[in-house]
Each structure stands twice: as structure tokens, then as C-alpha cells.
Amino acid sequence: MSSRHRTNRTRIEGKVLLLVSAFLIAGPLLASAQIPEGFEGPYRPSVVAERAVSKIESPWCPGLMLEVCPAAESRALRDSIHGLALEGWTTDELVDWVIANHGERYLAVPRTSGSGLWAWVMPPLALLFGIGVVVTFLRRIRQPEEDDLSVLDEDLSDDERHLLEDALREADRAEE
């Protein structure tokens, strides 16, 4: 290898080593960055706003929740929700505000009152009903059925009883 190639290689290795060192030093510093204690900007995380956002589907991304929709309109709506939460709005008030502005179809979680209550009550009731049907069915299968021949047993003479027993034995042998 010529000295020119060695010099270029040494320079490249030095630059790579410098970049790796910079990432190793700056990475933990950036990861530990936090929002200052007194900061009251629009992007301060709010538990109330996050709960509200998690209950709403995105009006601009069909099939996606508002919290994961990448559309600019969804980001703006999330920012508005966070701003209202900082003003003191509750989760229910925020959800009601979004539903009033965009429609009931974007509510991802059924309400726990009124007709929405049926969405919470019916699945457990249907499950209990299904379990009851299965248990009843299994009990009927396990209970021995009355012998149809027991009714005839009283009306049979001894000869007829022997013929019937022989026929049953013969049928058992044929099955084996």
C-alpha cells in the first residue's frame, strides 16, 4: 500500500473515531435532558390530555387513533387538546369537545352512560349466557338416559327376556 493510501486511511479512521466519541459523550447528555420545572409551554405533557387523546380516533387517518396519526391536522388537534388541558379542562370535557366538533363516530371507547353502557354490559352477559348453555348441554349429555327396554321388561316373559339378552350379546360381539 502506498503512503498516500495510508495517510487517507488514517484520516478517515481518525474522523470515524472522533464521531463515535462525540456520540458516546453527547448521547447520554441528550437522553437525560428534561423539561425545566417552571416551563409552561404548549408541549408540556399532560396526563389529562393524554387520556383524552387515547379515547379518540383520528378524523384524518381512518382506522388510526389520534395519538398515532401523523397528519398535520392531527398534530394540531393534539396540541389544542394539550392547551385546553393546561387551562384546566378535564378528560371528559376534552373528549366531549372533540366529539362535538368532529362527530360521535370518532369516539374510540364507548361511553359508560346512556346507550353506550350497553357496549360494556352486553359482552359479559353474552359470555355468562353462553357458559350457561354449554354447562346445561354437558349435564344433559352426562346424565344416563332411561332405558327404553326397562319399560318392556315388565311385559316380557322369561323366554322373551332370554331371547332379548341373547340378541343384545350378539350385537355386542358384532360391534367388537
CATH code, domain with 89? 1.10.8.640
Where does the pLDDT of residue 114 fall: very low under 50, low under 70, confident under 90, or very high at 90 and above? confident
Where does the pLDDT of residue 44 fall: very low under 50, low under 70, confident under 90, or very high at 90 and above? low
Is 39 inside any structural domain? no
CA distance 53 to 66: 6
Query: What is residue 30's predicted lDDT score, i.e. its pLDDT?
Result: 54
- Among the ranges given (87-96, 129-138, 141-150, 158-167), the one the predictor scored with the smallest mean pLDDT: 141-150
Helix axis angle, 91-102 to 72-86, nearest 10°? 140
* pLDDT exceeds 90 at position 104: no
Residue 73 structural domain: 47-109
CA distance 10 to 130: 75
E-assigned strands of the chain? none
Where does the pLDDT of residue 118 fall: very low under 50, low under 70, confident under 90, or very high at 90 and above? confident
**Are 52 and 25 contained in the same domain?**
no
**Are 54 and 105 contained in the same domain?**
yes
* Cβ atoms 58, 64 nearer than 8 A: yes
